[in-house]
Chain A
């Protein structure tokens, strides 16, 4: 039976980690993810877990320690944010290409500059090509549920890829809300134990990890890695189906909110999706056919499935909470537009960059986006393709 609780996103992640009791947790603190290792250190001190808790000197080292542990054949986790994730950059690629299923919790926070501690997806989006699976959440419940599914997806023999569990810095990481937790034993049973087929220290069949790949071999390794990311799609759905059967809460690549007959829609991620749902509800009450798609899995990107839901929608606003400096739209827009490229009835589409560095996104702001979409749908003119919202004009 689930347990009624109230926890912040960070405590929800730490709780999931405690229930899973990974073999290694290598930590280096950075706001707003610091509470995760802080809570975990208490569990270690109280003897509630028997994890090897390693305090290291940087994020480059924390992920490297996890990589070493995973190579040796055990479960390893860490947590970070912002510049900490950037500092891991080199090692992220090594973990992914070495096919080591580290689970990394990211409390997403803006990157410098100016220096800022608040939320956007600059940090995680900058690592979208690292080979990590990326799963995002609207609130503490989803962060917890995603974390319970993380190891099974990452460690699946057809996948073997590291995975980021992303939550919105402060907005989710530090907000206390109601949550349904599951019993420790039920979680342990659902997640299972980790017994990799091969690993560095396996006596009978020792494995080389991280060798040099000459041109004759490099491309094959990369194609195999790309295939693993494709395989992850199937595994993500299988694990979600078992999760629903076990705990009753349903997950997929994205949540399609009131999309059945939607004429205008937003594609959005994270906590802002919740705020925008309130706008959708308000518009639906007025008879406006508004809908919303909340992307949960950004890597692998569910392009086909997303295109199928967007088919026939008249106007779509893709909401990017990171500025990719491409001068033609953010990363979520590029993926969404790309997914629809060969579709005959594709919607008119615009990109809106919003919420950078913690700039608040309100129900009124979401309503103004739908107003713009109503106009695009009515006139058949998309207008400016790529704009920002919420910034002060001089």
Chain B
């Protein structure tokens, strides 16, 4: 990676877009990168659209503004597409990654003329299949890593395994499910 990668997350308050951006920062940090993860808060209420950001680079980034021309956009809640111009400023050689069971081409019209790559990931299905409950962050994280290649796949999976074994030291039975979530999301992302 010879330049900085900038990522913008769109979600609704309470869905974990901020957490997802923090997880991505963790993954990149473990891979030796310099990271930024920061939320942009509007009114603090459940369900309101929120934005979170990542910068990932090989050197410390001194810029502390929001990101207006991201390389990648991750949309945790597809219902936002009708009200928020998620692709605003998104680079055409980048990609938008939407949490949805649909095919990427079904979103073209909603994306207000974005000509770059559109990807979808069925985070609900993958999460239910492996964890028995809906945690969209884990598959979304893996999909963003797969599409952006901001971290090497094998290193990412290895670091995350270490992180899960530490985090879930008292319930090791959930580690395998989370790891399967990551692997399957990386394989199943469409577009």
> Which A residues are closer than 8 A to B by beta carbons?
6, 31, 117-118, 138-139, 168, 170-172, 174-178, 271-272, 274-275, 277-278, 360-363
Residues of B with Cβ closer than 8 Å to A?
Answer: 22, 25-26, 29, 34-39, 41, 44, 60, 62-66, 68
Identify the closest chain A residue to B25 (Cβ).
Answer: A176
The residue from A118, A171, A178, A363 contacting B29, defined by CB atoms under 8 A apart: A178
Q: A170 vs B62: C-alpha distance in the bound complex, in angstroms?
A: 16
With contact pairs A6-B25, A6-B26, A117-B44 given, residues A272 and B37 touching in the complex (Cβ less than 8 Å): no
Could you list 29 A-B pairs, sorted by A, with CB under 8 Å? Answer: A31-B44, A118-B41, A168-B64, A170-B38, A170-B39, A170-B41, A171-B38, A172-B64, A175-B37, A175-B64, A176-B22, A176-B25, A176-B36, A176-B38, A178-B29, A178-B34, A178-B35, A178-B60, A271-B64, A272-B64, A274-B62, A275-B63, A275-B64, A277-B62, A278-B62, A360-B65, A362-B65, A362-B66, A362-B68
Q: Considering the chains assembled together, what is the distance between the CA atoms of A170 and B37 in angstroms?
A: 11
- A-B pair count, CB < 8 Å, reads 59
Residues of A with C-beta under 8 A to B29 = 6, 178
Residue of A nearest to B37 (CB): A176
B35 surroundings in chain A (CB, below 8 A): 6, 176-178
Residue of B nearest to A31 (CB): B44
In contact, B38 and A175 (Cβ under 8 angstroms): yes
| Pairs A-B, 9 closest by C-beta atoms | A274-B62, A175-B38, A271-B64, A362-B65, A176-B37, A6-B29, A275-B63, A278-B63, A277-B62
Contact between chains at B39 and A174 (CB < 8 Å): yes
Contact B44 A175 (CB under 8 A): no
Cβ distance A123 to chain B, nearest Cβ, rounded Å: 17
Q: How far is the CA of A359 from the CA of B39 in the complex (A)?
A: 14
Nearest Cβ on chain B to A257's Cβ, whole angstroms: 10
Residues on B with beta carbons closer than 8 Å to the beta carbon of A175: 36-38, 64
How far apart are B107's CB and chain A's nearest CB, in angstroms?
28
A347 shortest CB reach to chain B, Å = 24
B37 cross-chain contacts in A, Cβ below 8 A:
175-177
Distance in Å from the Cβ of A359 to the closest Cβ of chain B?
A: 11
A171 contacts which chain B residues (CB < 8 A)?
38, 64
Cα distance A274–B34 when bound, in Å? Answer: 15
Tell me, rounded to whole Å, the shortest Cβ–Cβ distance linking A14 to chain B. Answer: 16
Please measure, in the bound complex, the distance between the C-alpha atom of A6 and the C-alpha atom of B65, giving whole angstroms: 19
Question: A176-B22, A360-B66, A363-B65 provided; 13 other pairs, C-beta below 8 A?
Answer: A6-B25, A6-B26, A6-B29, A118-B41, A139-B64, A175-B38, A176-B37, A178-B34, A275-B62, A275-B64, A361-B65, A362-B66, A362-B68
Q: Which residues of B contact A168 (CB under 8 A)?
A: 64
Shortest Cβ distance from B114 into chain A, in angstroms? 22
Which residue of the partner chain A has the closest CB to B64? Answer: A271
Query: Are A274 and B41 neighbours in the complex by a CB distance under 8 Å?
Result: no
B165 shortest CB reach to chain A, Å: 19
CB closest chain-B residue, reference A32: B41
Let me know if A274 and B64 touch, CB within 8 A: yes
For the complex, give the distance between the alpha carbons of A272 and B34 in Å: 19
> A174 and B38 in contact (CB under 8 A), knowing A6-B25, A362-B68?
yes
Q: Which residues of B contact A6 (CB under 8 A)?
A: 25-26, 29, 35
Distance (whole angstroms) from the CB of A392 to the closest CB of chain B: 16
Shortest C-beta distance, B50 to chain A (Å), equals: 12
Complex Cα distance A171/B62, Å? Answer: 12
A360 surroundings in chain B (CB, below 8 A): 65-66
Bound-complex Cα distance A177 to B26 (A): 10
- Residues of chain A within 8 A (CB-CB) of B39 are 170, 174
How many angstroms from the CA of A172 to the CA of B65 in the assembled complex?
11
Chain B residue nearest to A170 (CB atoms) is B41
Chain A residues whose CB sits within 8 angstroms of the CB of B62 once the complex forms: 138-139, 274-275, 277-278
Q: Which of B25, B35, B36, B64 has the most CB of A within 10 A?
A: B64
- How far is A275 from B60 in the complex, measured between Cα atoms in Å? 12
Q: CA A273 – CA B34 in complex, angstroms?
A: 19
- When C-beta atoms are compared, the residue in chain A nearest to B65 turns out to be A362
**Assembly CA distance A31 to B41 (angstroms):** 11
How many whole Å from A236's CB to the nearest CB in chain B? Answer: 23
Nearest-neighbour CB distance to chain A for B78, whole angstroms, equals: 26
Contacts of A278 in B (CB 8 A): 62-63
- Looking at the assembled complex, report how far the CB atom of A171 sits from the nearest CB atom of chain B, in whole angstroms: 5
Give the CA-CA distance A256 to B185 in the complex, in Å: 48
| Interface core residue of A6, A275, A277, A278 (most chain B CB under 10 Å) | A6
Asked if B41 and A117 make an inter-chain contact with CB atoms under 8 angstroms apart, the answer reads yes
How long is the Cα–Cα vector from A51 to B14 in the complex, in angstroms?
A: 33
A117 proximity list for chain B (CB < 8 A): 41, 44
**What B residues does A174 contact at CB under 8 A?**
38-39
Report Cα–Cα, A266/B35, bound state, in Å: 27
| Bound CA span A175–B37, Å | 6
B65 contacts across to A, CB distance below 8 A: 275, 360-363
Q: Please, how many angstroms separate the alpha-carbon atoms of A172 and B39 in the complex?
A: 11
Q: How far is it, in angstroms, between the C-alpha of A274 and the C-alpha of B61 when the chains are bound? A: 8
- Could you tell me the distance in whole angstroms from the C-beta of A293 to the nearest C-beta in chain B? 15
Report Cα–Cα, A168/B35, bound state, in Å.
Answer: 18
